Amino acid sequence: MGWHAYLALWCVVLGAVAVVGYGRSLAGVTRGQRAVRVMGRIERVTEPRHGSSGREGIAVVVTFRDPATGQEFTVTNDGECGDRISTAWTGREVGIRYPPGRPHAYQFTTDPDAGRSGLGRPNFAVFLIYVGLVVVASIDWGWPWALIGFGVPWTLLSATYLPRAVRDTRLRIEGLASGDPVPGRVIAVLKDVTVDEDSGTATRHTPVVAFTTHDGTAVTAYRTTGLSDPARSRGRELTIHYRPDDPAVFTTDLAAEHRSRVGEIAFAVGSLLVGVAAAVAGGVLIAG
Amino acid sequence: MTITPAPPSAPPTRSTPLDLARVVLTGAVIGSSLAALVVGTVLGHVSLLVGGLVLPIAHGLLVLAAGAPERARRRAIVPCTTLARIEGLHATGGETSDVPVRFDLTVAPDGRPAYRVESTQSVNLVDLADYEPGGIVVVQYPPHQPWAVKLVKRPTPEWEDRAASARINSAPGPALTAKPPPDGSVGGYLTLLALLLGAAAVVFAFRADLFGPEGPADRPPSAAGPADPGTSSTTIVSAASGTVALGPGQSLFDGGRLRLAVDSLTQGDGRNRQALTVVAQDRLLTVVFTPAGSQAPGFDLDALPYPRIPALVREARTTLGVRSPQTWQLTAESLSGALTLRVGVAGADGAASLEANGHGEIVRRVPAR
């Protein structure tokens, strides 16, 4: 069996996966589509204990109502139950997802709409087919086709991503700068020690910031970036800029946000240029 | 009527025949796929390599699919939440911030007899002080596995209140544990045995290629798989002749390889494609080109019956009475006019040859004498 036959097999198998996936998505029977998605409400926030682990997120008590039965459930984020809750305040809405009829298998989610279309798996199968075809084209017709195969879709993706990145960072900065800052404080520093056979012991420190917004919302949040010497930051007084409509978006350093905005846009532009350069170089080499 | 609840049963201690069949199959798949990868690498057998990769993946998918209904059934079960009394605890290790702690608990389910259970849980060092003998904790377990108790570190307010006001008396032992069944070692031996048998089966199936004669002249032309055009070879070309020597593990008589080798000698503008003689052995090809301007009776290299050549060599090796051929070669020339192919074979039984015309049809056999 020649290697072209293996490629054909690769395409057939993945094509079947894709067709089945798209069919299931059209029929609305994928796990993501069947999942029940509701918004829960944080009823209680427990202040993290200094030195404890940050892996399980801020301890919260959440209530939600199952739309099928109307029954209300009170749950906590104990153990493995979806996305980590790293910013919390009483009254905050959090996404909850669970299989139909099984509210006890609830999972917290930061993006309640994630996976709603059920197209992730078939799209990935199509991507793998595309990779296989690009590899074949590169071997059969020459490596410049790899540049084309990579550059063209990369450029299209970057061109889509760039305007959105610019808009999102602009809105974020505007939101953060729109209100008066409030005082905040590092109330605890969480510590997670992991042992790796290669790199030895690694310790990660996660400062926990608490602040109260102008409307009286007491926010508790992990702050993984932007604080110098996080291990000894407990008790440090901070100035918090937050978005009035969503205190989960906050910063302790507005100037750093501006710098990171420039960095993000530069990254998006650089990414676009890499794609264009690859596609152009591939085209020139093929034409030459 | 009073219904007396039965005390919780211990974990199953015997494996079912289905469990044993599963471990045997898993062992066989692991052994055969590993052996296929090794044998495929040694022989350069691409199909075997691919099979060695695909087999465990297919097996994994099969196991996943077969276990899906059972997993779905278990997921649909709502775990029981109840209170438990800590009878004792001790940390069993710990280099990280979370240490494994072995709890001895008296679990007190609502409406059922209390029972003892041992369970190991990971507890953060900072939170360790929350757990002490005599303390009440909230636990969860699947209804059908009362020994699989899990500590609820963040109970709901309702369960917090119940734990704060509860008093639980110690239950007598022995404690249930979630240890693997005692006959788990049988499964281990079966897995190992199946693994070895699976590997042996693959090696046995390819024993001829692995342990057969190693000399290139002794390898049957069709023994190896299709040659990889990217593997090593040495090519020397001059105006008068050209030579191609293939690297180890390749053969000119693998599908299409002879044609590729001939083409490699004649590529380029103005290269001569007329030859006086072509001599091919397993890994060595020599072409004597017709000198430019010569009237010598050469032939076009494209006229060779390439698809027939492996069959001619096989025919000469197997049907002319030379039982253990040690050397053989193919010669193509048209010095006498028409293109003639001659395959010579020599071994302990003597020498033999056959002749074929330009279409690859055998016209003469000279058996061993």
Q: For helices B46-76 and B17-43, give the axis angle rounded to 10 degrees.
A: 150
**Long-range CB contact pairs, B53-56, < 8 A, 24+:** B55/B29, B56/B29, B56/B30
- Give the domain B80-165 fold: OB fold (Dihydrolipoamide Acetyltransferase, E2P) (2.40.50)
Contact A76 B154 (CB under 8 A): yes
Contact B97 A191 (CB under 8 A): yes
B366 within 8 A of B359, measured Cβ to Cβ:
no
State yes or no: pLDDT of B238 exceeds 70: yes
Instruction: Please write the tens of the pLDDT for every residue from A121-140.
Output: 999 999 999 999 998 888 88
Residues of A in contact with B78 (CB under 8 A): 104
Residue A261 phi, psi (nearest 5): -65, -45
The residue of A52, A62, A81 whose CB has the most chain B CBs within 10 angstroms, and thus the best one to mutate to test that interface, is A52
Least confident of A21-30, A88-97, B5-14: B5-14
Q: How many CB pairs under 8 A join A and B?
A: 58
pLDDT band per the 50, 70, 90 thresholds, residue B221: very low
B40 within 8 A of B205, measured Cβ to Cβ:
no
Q: How large a percentage of chain B has pLDDT more than 90? A: 7
A66: three-class secondary structure by DSSP = coil
Q: How large a percentage of chain A has pLDDT more than 90? A: 46
State yes or no: pLDDT of B194 exceeds 80: yes
Predicted pLDDT of residue B228: 47
**Highest-pLDDT range among A253-257, A260-264, B84-88, B181-185:** B84-88
State yes or no: pLDDT of B214 exceeds 70: no
Contact A59 B126 (CB under 8 A): no
Predicted pLDDT of residue B185: 66
Predicted pLDDT of residue B219: 45
- Nearest residue to A34 (alpha-carbon basis) of A117, A122, A106: A117
- Nearest residue to A186 (alpha-carbon basis) of A252, A125, A139: A252
Query: Average per-residue pLDDT in chain A?
Result: 89
B18 within 8 A of B2, measured Cβ to Cβ:
no
pLDDT band per the 50, 70, 90 thresholds, residue B271: low
- Nearest residue to B235 (alpha-carbon basis) of B286, B272, B282, B301: B286
DSSP B29-72: HHHHHHHHHHHHHHHT-HHHHHHHHHHHHHHHHHHHHHHHHHHH
The residue of A10, A13, A104, A143 whose CB has the most chain B CBs within 10 angstroms, and thus the best one to mutate to test that interface, is A104
Q: First and final CA of chain A: distance in angstroms?
A: 34
Predicted pLDDT of residue B216: 45
DSSP B273-306: -EEEEEEE-SSEEEEEEPPTT--S--EEGGGS-G
State yes or no: pLDDT of A160 exceeds 70: yes
Radius of gyration of chain A (CA): 24
A100 within 8 A of A68, measured Cβ to Cβ:
yes
Instruction: Please write the tens of the pLDDT for every residue from B77-126.
Output: 888 899 999 988 888 877 777 888 999 999 988 888 888 988 888 888 88
Q: First and final CA of chain B: distance in angstroms?
A: 102
Residues of A in contact with B124 (CB under 8 A): 52-53
Predicted pLDDT of residue A177: 87
B127 vs B184, more confident:
B127
A117: three-class secondary structure by DSSP = coil
- Structural tokens at position B97: 């911030």
Mean pLDDT of B67-72: 84
Residues of B in contact with A6 (CB under 8 A): 46, 50
Contact B157 A3 (CB under 8 A): no
Residues of A in contact with B98 (CB under 8 A): 53
**Overall residue count recorded for chain A in this entry:** 288
Residues of A in contact with B96 (CB under 8 A): 192-195, 201
Instruction: Please write the tens of the pLDDT for every residue from B321-363.
Output: 777 777 778 888 887 778 888 888 888 778 888 888 888 888 8
Could you tell me which residues come within 8 angstroms of residue B312 by beta carbon, excluding any fewer than 6 positions away?
Answer: B330, B341, B343, B354, B356, B360, B362
Predicted pLDDT of residue A71: 92
The residue of B154, B161, B228 whose CB has the most chain A CBs within 10 angstroms, and thus the best one to mutate to test that interface, is B154
Nearest CA distance, A105 vs chain B (angstrom): 8
Predicted pLDDT of residue A94: 93
pLDDT band per the 50, 70, 90 thresholds, residue B157: very high
Which bin fits B337, alpha (ψ -120 to 50), beta or left (φ > 0)? left
Mean pLDDT of A172-195: 89
Residues of B in contact with A51 (CB under 8 A): 125-126
Gap between the Cα atoms of B205 and B31, Å rounded: 14
Question: How crowded is residue B6: how many other Cβ atoms within 10 Å of its Cβ?
Answer: 8
A258: three-class secondary structure by DSSP = helix
User: Cα B52 to the chain's mean position, in Å?
Assistant: 3
Please indicate, yes or no, whether the overall pTM of this predicted structure exceeds 0.95: no
Question: How crowded is residue B120: how many other Cβ atoms within 10 Å of its Cβ?
Answer: 14
Report the b/e string of A202-227 with b at 16+ CB within 10 A: eebbbbbbbbebeeeeebbbbbeebb
Least confident of B171-180, B217-226, B292-301: B217-226
Contact B75 A194 (CB under 8 A): no
Cis peptide before B174 (omega within 30 of 0): yes
State yes or no: pLDDT of B225 exceeds 50: no
A217 within 8 A of A91, measured Cβ to Cβ:
yes
Predicted pLDDT of residue B148: 87
Could you tell me which residues come within 8 angstroms of residue A128 by beta carbon, excluding any fewer than 6 positions away?
Answer: A10, A14
Instruction: Please write the tens of the pLDDT for every residue from B23-35.
Output: 888 888 999 999 8
Q: Where are the domains of chain B?
A: 15-76+182-212, 80-165, 217-366
Nearest to B152 among A49, A51, A78 (CB): A78
**Chain A: residues touching B (Cβ < 8 Å):** 1-3, 6, 44, 46, 49-53, 56, 59, 61, 74-79, 99, 101-102, 104-105, 191-195, 201
Contact A44 B157 (CB under 8 A): yes
Query: Average per-residue pLDDT in chain B?
Result: 79
Predicted pLDDT of residue A131: 92
Residues of B in contact with A191 (CB under 8 A): 97
Q: How large a percentage of chain A has pLDDT more than 70? A: 99
- Structural tokens at position A253: 């350093």
Distances (CA, A) of B31 to A56, B21, B45, B66, B190: 40, 15, 18, 21, 12
Gap between the Cα atoms of B90 and B101, Å rounded: 6
pLDDT band per the 50, 70, 90 thresholds, residue B264: confident
Predicted pLDDT of residue A40: 94
Mean pLDDT of A49-68: 91
Contact A61 B156 (CB under 8 A): yes
